[in-house]
Amino acid sequence: MDKYAPAKIAGELNLLSAALYTDLKVSFKGVEMTSVTPYSGRFAGYKIEKGKLSIDVAYLVENRTLEAKQKFVIDQLELGERVESEDAVRLPLKLAVALLKDRNGVIDIDLPMSGSLDDPQFRMGPLIWKAFLGLLTKAATAPFALLGNLFGGGEEMNLIEFDAGTSTLDAAAEEKIASIGKALNERPALQLEVPTSYSPDLDRAALAARRLDGLLRSLPKSNEAALADPAQRFELLVSQYQADYGARSALPPAALAINGTRRNERDPAGFAPANLEMERAIAEKHQVEDRDLEQLGQMRARAIQDALLASGGLDAARVFVMGANPSAPTENKRVRVELALK
């Protein structure tokens, strides 16, 4: 075929009516795919720049019904110029091709097919292309689902979650990242984008609480027991409040009421609202700025990047840390980083 591609056709058929019975096996090796650009332009919207196609198919026709087993091996497929076509899918097909190619540039797929020869739309060439494009569509619209099925990590392997205010990867995140690293090693045409993600609400509150505890820990007579005990925490909060606002500054109302009461007469239930008032007032002096949130997002992105590149098997040039991307909190009150492929 095309002078250099070996072709083999073997089987049996009804010479009086091939549509009633045909049992045929067909094999082509190394067909230049540039010759099928009319199909690729119409259905994919791209010319084919390069690639060789090898197929092994078995077609069984009985009573005008076809059952086909088709194995296609496409070597070094490269899509070329875009072609305007009303039938072309509007998808990132170059990404889909990169997802399907293994590390040697080979796409190996099975495309079973069936149909009736009485269907006026039944033409083998277009049907094969539509089946192939269906596979490309699945790859382009759910790339991580495809990779997760191939290399582990699940369909949501690109969703990495962090506790609020932290940049530490847990075991589940490390397992997903390991699967992504394996997938990238097997799909060398892909690049990974890691956004700088944070939650304005969850992270700001968590960072503020951590900052406040840091201030209290630096005070004299401070220890973990004092931080946990409402009465002792109140004394620490008073000290920090006076350090921030001045020794003669009036305390917030609830705190002022407790502070003016003798220690042995203080109502334990009153410490909760008093401590909350004090914490809010102190937080006003030590606000968590947007740059603090962006720095946390950077730390998360770097943690993911470091985990991916730790083994040394993946080229750092393929992992991109992106700009700030505020994230909505998840149902379990964690912050999600959503990785993307290019």
If we measure between CA atoms, which residue out of 55, 52, 54, 33 comes closest to residue 44? Answer: 33
The pair of structure tokens assigned to 89 is 């899918």
Question: Domains in the chain, ordered, with CATH?
Answer: 7-141 (no CATH), 142-342 (3.30.1330.60)
Query: Phi and psi (nearest 5°) for 302?
Result: -65, -35
* Cβ–Cβ under 8 Å, residues 232 and 225: yes
Render each residue's pLDDT in the chain as its tens digit; 342 residues.
878 889 999 999 888 887 788 899 999 999 998 877 777 788 778 888 999 999 999 989 888 888 989 898 999 999 888 888 887 777 788 888 889 898 899 999 888 888 787 776 666 666 777 777 778 788 888 899 889 888 888 889 999 999 999 999 999 999 999 999 999 999 999 999 999 999 999 999 999 999 999 999 999 989 999 999 999 999 999 999 999 999 989 999 999 999 888 888 888 888 999 999 999 999 999 999 999 999 999 999 999 999 999 988 899 999 999 998 888 777 788 999 999 999
The pair of structure tokens assigned to 250 is 């009036």
- The alpha-helical segments, DSSP class H, found in the chain are 37-43, 93-100, 124-141, 143-151, 171-186, 202-217, 224-228, 230-245, 253-259, 271-285, 290-309
* Cβ–Cβ under 8 Å, residues 151 and 182: yes
At a CB cut-off of 8 Å and minimum separation 6, what does 303 contact?
A: 167, 168, 169
pTM: 0.76
